[in-house]
Amino acid sequence: MYQRILVPTDGSPVSEAAVDAAIDFARARGSAIVALGVAVPEPSFQSLEGAVAYDPGLQVELLLEHAKNHVDAIAARARKAGVPCTELTSSALDPAEAIVETARAQHCDLIVMGSHGRRGLSRLLAGSVTQAVLANAPVPVMVLRPAGNAAATQARTAAAPGGA
């Protein structure tokens, strides 16, 4: 169980924490990881009719280079820990879809990823890659939340009447 673990990254601190956890978990289980960096091009303009267009040229190349740098760093950390690592990058307008498809194509049996911890209106407006992966993944998903959110939750619980 959990022989191929997909680890998508965007290079953020919470994503990096998920990478560390995935490498530790893979080392303990004798598993391999698949490191994935997804380049997400930004729309370059929006028409009055609501259609969005983007220029996939230079921007995508630069984004793919950044994604590859993140994936290369994961592979180096995995090698140092003695964990086999497959390195992948892709370009997609929907990173959640790219993550789910990669899990299928690479025959992964677990996805480990970070959550940026958005709440309320910002989560609704910005969307959530993690939420979309959770809803569509063909395998279990382990989500690591930012460390600050856990501390804030503990502080609110301790401050609440009857809190521990």
Amino acid at 162: G
Instruction: Compare 59 and 153 and report the one with higher pLDDT.
Output: 59
| Residue 152 confidence (pLDDT) | 45
| Residue 41 confidence (pLDDT) | 87
Residues 83-141 have pLDDT tens digits of 999 999 999 999 999 999 999 999 999 999 998 755 555 455 445 899 999 999 999 99
Residue 83 and residue 75 in contact, taking contact as beta carbons nearer than 8 Å: no
| Residue 117 confidence (pLDDT) | 56
| CA distances to 2, 6, 44, 89, 121 from 137, in Å | 15, 11, 30, 19, 24
Residues 12-28 have pLDDT tens digits of 899 999 999 999 999 99
Residues 140-158 have pLDDT tens digits of 999 998 776 544 444 433 4
Residues 26-52 have pLDDT tens digits of 999 999 999 999 999 876 555 556 665
Instruction: Give mean pLDDT, residues 50-69.
Output: 78
* Alpha carbon distance 132, 20 (integer Å): 22
What is the sign, positive or negative, of the torsion defined by CA atoms of 63, 88, 3, 138? Answer: positive
Secondary structure E strands in 2-156: 4-9, 32-39, 45-46, 52-53, 85-91, 110-114, 141-144
Q: Roughly how many angstroms between the first and final C-alpha of the chain, as a whole number?
A: 37
Beta-bridge partner residues of 47: none
